[in-house]
Amino acid sequence: MQLSAQEEYGLRCLLRVAEGGVGGPVSVALIAEREGISHEYVARLMAPLKSAGLVSATRGAGGGYRLARPADQISVWEAILALGGPFFPEDFCECHPGQRRECVRSTDCAIRSLWQRADQVLRVLLESISL
């Protein structure tokens, strides 16, 4: 398991908003400059964070993004879910059937329970970490 680029960069953008949004909205240009990524990519990353209710946006010359709630009320897990989803989604096995259409281990898959447990542990940990 690893974070996708979208999850990593999106989380970094969210942290920039958290650290810089005390005095007002944080602009896409400032986030892009600080993170060394394009304005377009920042805007694309901020969209799911806004849809998930983690940030709010203000348009115009003095616009940008602010956290929708205090930083200590936004967990890293919420951000990961907004940006990419759980590490082990319910339909994981359906996405990796191997050579056969139906998995030969559909009833006694030891690896499925391993990934589900790992996902649960990561979820609990990341829910306990706030911005």
9 pLDDT above the threshold of 70 = yes
Q: pLDDT by residue (tens digit) across 88-125?
A: 766 666 555 555 555 655 556 677 777 778 888 989 99
Arithmetic mean of pLDDT, 58-80: 91
Distance CA 92, CA 83 (A): 17
Q: Which of 59-63, 74-78, 97-101 has the highest mean pLDDT?
A: 74-78
For the cut 60, the answer to whether the pLDDT of residue 87 exceeds it is: yes
Whether the predicted pLDDT of 48 surpasses 80: yes
CB 32 within 8 A of CB 90: no
Q: Three-state SS across 47-80? A: HHHHHCCCEEEECCCCCEEEECCCHHHCEHHHHH
Mean pLDDT of 10-37: 90
Give me the pLDDT at residue 29, please.
94
Integer Cα distance of 27 and 42 in angstroms: 10
- Average pLDDT (56-79) is 91
Query: Alpha-carbon distance 35 to 92, whole Å?
Result: 32
